[in-house]
Amino acid sequence: MQLEPEQILEALDADQAQAARSLLGPTVILAGAGTGKTRTITHRIAYGIVRGDFSENRVLALTYTNRAAGELRARLRGLGVQSANAKTFHSAALAQLEYFFRTLYGIQPFRVQESKTKTLLQAASGLKISLDPNALRDLAAEIEWRKYSLLSIDEYAEQLSQRSLPQSLSANRVIDLQRAYDEQNLKDKKMDWEDVILLCTGMLRAEPRALAQVQQQYRFFTVDEYQDISPLQQDLLDTWLGDRSDICVVGDPNQTIYSFTGASSSYLETFATRYPEANVIQLNRNYRSNPEIIRVANRARVHQHLDALEALRPNGSQPKVIAFENKQQEASWVAQEIKDQLSAGIKASQIAVLYRINGQSEPIEKALSEKSIDYQVRGGQRYYSRQDVMSAIRLVRAEASSPSTKPLYESVTALVRSLGWQSVRPDESGAKLESWEALNHFVEIAEELGPNATIQDFANELEERQRSQHEPVRESVTLSTIHAAKGLEFQSVFIVGATEGYLPISYAKTELDLIEERRLFYVAITRAKDNLQLSWPKSDFETGRDNTLSRFAQYFD
């Protein structure tokens, strides 16, 4: 049963409803952490469709992470919206490139490379340059920053004096490597993800027929996490929009943590200047965290001119700062605390251990393993690379090629049963449980799509999730860098290794760098709902050096 327009708004508070009613023309929603921004924009889209202001198939909701795009699609379906598009910038751009290259030129575009590392190594070999893993990582980041910043190599060269380059390479060598990297991609007929957006923008501007078709297809735009947009992505968004202004952007300047990739909150902060007629709405009622956590977050936030977060939940536990002699003791304590929380009934998927860099996870992983606590490291093995998942996808595609009248749920469960899935979750842990969880995710997607969906709808949803690497959540403790945890929330959060050199990171030297580190700390704090613990080791066991507690711990006082 389809909801009436005002019924859709009943789930929103006054400020969220005001944002949902702002349907035509430019709207900017400044949404603090935990204030229901996803709920607001999905209800706004559904409200506009039910009212008749939006045509469902002409809506395009954009975000930057695969998980966020999947969540938008799922929530829209829950509101009865089936065909509105919710995609990342990259997946939308790639789909348009592939479609128009086939229809206009009769060819496929270049393939998207798996990573920059292989191409960089080939480029370095041609120049007789040896690159260690750190230099490779830093060079890949520099290429990403240059392209997201919409800089040519010559323009980038003019800014090299302000960039932090690999110590083993001169500025001229960095430029040579970047030129060779682009030439190698061209030779191999490959492109990186930044090229996907750049080429899509160029194609649309060069081909009036393609641009007219896209602008006819998409009329109503929503951009989530707008504080993370880069000049490259903004350029594509401007191309899609043309001279129209039916756009809603939502974001939080306090959560700008990707400046190192070229993202800039300036587009969010100047939106009302670029669109003087824009409706500006602030969301500051926090539904996620207890008041004690919100007090810490309000002290830590950078943009104090925006409304402070207002805590709506009852009082809870006080966030703590805890010191240990070394990181082994810290890891052992974290593991025991997690074991106690699991025994108290907190789900494993509601517990997270956050750190600044990936290298800090090793002692935590060891301590959890010693206590037989299941965990997953965000950024580990890709779900869609698993053999059992790939087999299931092939079966789904085969089934979809011969349409059936069987209910979707029946079709999907039959397919995964043929690969060993059973309706009862196995008691044992390890590979058998992991395989069951992987296949059970297919059943969960079928349930999510609903009884009216077809096997073709299911295949299309799988294709979109595979393209955007929208990964399922396992019932296990999450280990993650703070950057990778953005957009997630947990009942209990441990921020570990909180020392100077990690928080803030040692290479954050300028005032702007340190402000970004503070925003990153704010993001870490606001992931927590009920329990927040900050810990640090007093000394480094390997080097014997003494550590200093992070300056950001002052916000806990």
Is it the case that residue 428 has pLDDT exceeding 70? no
d(CA 37, CA 15): 11
Give me the mean pLDDT over the 151-176 stretch: 88
Per-residue pLDDT of 373-421, as tens digits, reads 988 888 655 666 677 778 888 888 888 777 677 888 888 888 888 888 8
Contacts of 506 (CB under 8 A, 6+ apart): none
Q: What integer pLDDT is reported at residue 220 of this predicted model? A: 95
Q: What integer pLDDT is reported at residue 541 of this predicted model? A: 67
Per-residue pLDDT of 440-495, as tens digits, reads 888 888 887 777 778 887 887 777 676 555 666 678 899 999 998 998 999 999 99
Is it the case that residue 91 has pLDDT exceeding 70? yes
For residue 71, how many C-alpha atoms fall within 13 Å in the half-sphere facing its CB?
A: 15
Q: What integer pLDDT is reported at residue 326 of this predicted model? A: 93
Q: What integer pLDDT is reported at residue 179 of this predicted model? A: 95
User: Using alpha carbons only, how large is the chain's radius of gyration in Å?
Assistant: 24
Residue 476 CB-density burial (10 A; 0-12 exposed, 13-18 middle, 19+ buried) = buried
**More confident position, 498 or 464:** 498
Give the H/E segment covering residue 138.
Answer: helix 133-148
DSSP category for residue 422: -
Contact 26, 279 (CB under 8 A): yes
Per-residue pLDDT of 519-555, as tens digits, reads 999 999 999 999 999 999 999 866 668 999 999 999 9
Q: What integer pLDDT is reported at residue 211 of this predicted model? A: 96
Contact 499, 550 (CB under 8 A): yes
Per-residue pLDDT of 42-85, as tens digits, reads 999 999 999 999 998 999 999 987 778 888 988 998 888 888 88
Where helices occur in 351-386 by DSSP H, the ranges are 362-370
Q: What integer pLDDT is reported at residue 164 of this predicted model? A: 80
Q: What integer pLDDT is reported at residue 84 of this predicted model? A: 85
d(CA 292, CA 273): 36
Q: What integer pLDDT is reported at residue 70 of this predicted model? A: 82
Quick check: helix, strand or coil at residue 308?
coil
**CA 339, 340, 341, 343 torsion-angle sign:** positive
Q: What integer pLDDT is reported at residue 377 of this predicted model? A: 86
**More confident position, 139 or 424:** 139
Q: What integer pLDDT is reported at residue 385 of this predicted model? A: 67
d(CA 440, CA 412): 10
d(CA 163, CA 494): 33
pTM beyond cutoff 0.85: no
Per-residue pLDDT of 222-274, as tens digits, reads 999 999 999 999 999 999 999 999 999 999 999 999 988 889 999 999 999 99
Contact 254, 32 (CB under 8 A): yes
